[in-house]
Amino acid sequence: MSRTMTAAAKTASPAGTAPTAKEGGRSVLGWVLHNVVWIWLIALVVIFGLFNQFFFTVNNMQNIMVQATVLGMLGLAVALPLLVAEIDLSLPANLGFSSAIGAMAYSDWGLPWFPGMLVGVGVATFIGFFNGLCITKLKMVSLIQTLSMMIILQGALLALTQGRTITNLSDGYVWIGQATIGGWPVMPFIFVIALVGVGILLSNTVFGRRVYAVGGNPVASNSAGIRVDRVKILTYTLAGFLAGCAGFLLASWQMAITSNQGSSYLLYAIAAPIIGGVSVFGGRGNVIGVLGGVLLLTIIQVGLAIISVPSFYVGIIGGVMIFIAVAIDAIRVRYFS
């Protein structure tokens, strides 16, 4: 009898007052962990700013935004195949190769710069489309197919440039990378437009809904009347297009195309959306997360440069900062979802 009583008392007490406070604490912690990228971002801004007042200047903020543009465009591109539970590793190489094609269309084939640029973006879009075809119709594994495409495109860029850097770009071509309106650089606006565009596409259109469905469960999506292959091909094509635009912006900004243009972006372009909450298993993630990931990576890079960390240590400190962001996110997934 007494045992029954204690058992009843035990079950009664947590049902009373205790859980509300506990739940409250949990939800605050959950909120913090849920927005860890943004909180970490703000913390880093403050830390870098304390080390060097220059970090807080408008000039530096503009610099960060310009730097974030190319990575941001690429991050958006990488996020699209990830959302359908595939991957495209060839996007940074596509960026470099397509921009070289665009520049050569101007310099070697005599096209005006604008149609030349469009040719470059068109080539990038077509490469994305081709990747999509290989992965859906030939059922090639995206990781390896796009890895080999990456190697092909890197090699093709080297062959095209013969190891030299292309610098004879027209004034029109390099305008957008240098231009300012009222003292503000133009480049970041392109990123904002792309961000809003992809955001609307994903959350407000039939296509976007299908992307999430295919990423969540391709078999069930097929039975639900979604042409899974078509959705995947479209995401790859769109990713190629975004990489092409990023290629134009990078070349315009740097006023040069090196023989390994874009290659250095590979790991950061993949890390940014994943840090921002895009699931590598598909079906989860949004553009705000991608923005967070891109800004976090950019601020770490710029910040470490500004506080004059000796270059030998930049790699390891930056890596640890990214590791912390990913680890906290993993803890969130482990305990709060």
Partner 1 sequence: MTVPMTSRSQAASDYVLRVENLGKVYGGAVALRDVSLAIRRGSIHGLLGENGAGKSTLVGIMSGQRQPTTGTIYLDGVALGHADVPSMEEAGVFLVTQEPMIIDHLSAAENLMLGIWPRRFGFVNWRKLRKDAARMLAGTGIDLDKPAGKLDAVARRKLNILRAMFSGGKIIILDEPTAALTVEDRKQLFDFMRRLKADGVTFIFISHYNDEILDICDSVSVLRDGVLAGGSEDVGSLTSAQLSELVLGRGLVLFQRERRSFADDAPAVELRDIVGPSVRVPALDLRPGEVVGFTGLPGAGAKELARCIFGLTPVQSGTIRFADGSETQKLPSHPRDAFESGIAFLSDDRRRDGAIGQMSIGANISLSSLSAVANAGFLSKEAELKLSDRYFAAMDIKAPSAEVAVDTLSGGNQQKVCLGRVLATGPRVLILDEPTRGIDVGVKQDVLRIVDDLSRTGVAVIIVSTDTDEITRAVDRVCIFENGTIARELTGSEITNDRLRGLEPA
Positions in the binding site for partner 1 (CB under 8 A) = 3, 7, 11, 15, 204-207, 209-210, 212-213, 216-217, 219-227, 283-284
User: How many angstroms separate the Cα of 319 from the Cα of each of 15, 221, 267, 335?
Assistant: 45, 38, 11, 24
181 versus 206: smaller Cβ distance to partner 1: 206
- Residues 300 and 305: their CA atoms lie apart, in Å, by 9
For partner 1, give the closer residue by CB, 19 or 24: 19
Beta-ladder partners of 185: 180
Nearer to partner 1, 116 or 283 (CB): 283
Q: Which is nearer to partner 1, 222 or 260 (CB)?
A: 222
What's the min distance (Å) between Cβ of 28 and partner 1?
Answer: 22
CB of 308 to partner 1, least distance (A): 45
Dmax over Cα atoms in the chain, in whole Å? Answer: 96
Q: How many angstroms separate the CA atoms of 217 and 250, rounded?
A: 36
Query: Shortest distance, CB of residue 315 to partner 1, whole angstroms?
Result: 36
DSSP state of 162: T
Nearer to partner 1, 50 or 196 (CB): 196
Task: Give the pair of three-digit tokens for residue 204.
Answer: 């407000």
Least Cα distance to 322 among 292, 295, 297, 302 occurs for: 297
Which residue, 311 or 337, has its beta carbon nearer to partner 1? Answer: 337
Which residues, including other chains, have CB under 8 Å from residue 87's CB and lie 6 or more apart?
Answer: 78, 81, 142, 143, 146, 270, 280
Amino acid identity for residue 170 in this structure: S
| Least distance to partner 1, CB of residue 10, Å | 9
- C-alpha closest to that of 243 among 65, 80, 66: 80
- β-pairing, 184-185 with 180-181? antiparallel
Q: Which two tokens stand for residue 316?
A: 């390891």
Helix or strand (DSSP H, E) at 184: strand 184-185
CB of 329 to partner 1, least distance (A): 17
Which residue lies nearer to partner 1 by CB, 107 or 222? 222
CB of 11 to partner 1, least distance (A): 6
Find, among 269, 296, 331, the residue nearest to 73 by Cα.
269
- What are the phi and psi torsion angles at 163 (to 5°)? 80, -5
Residue 283 C-beta: closest distance to partner 1, Å: 5
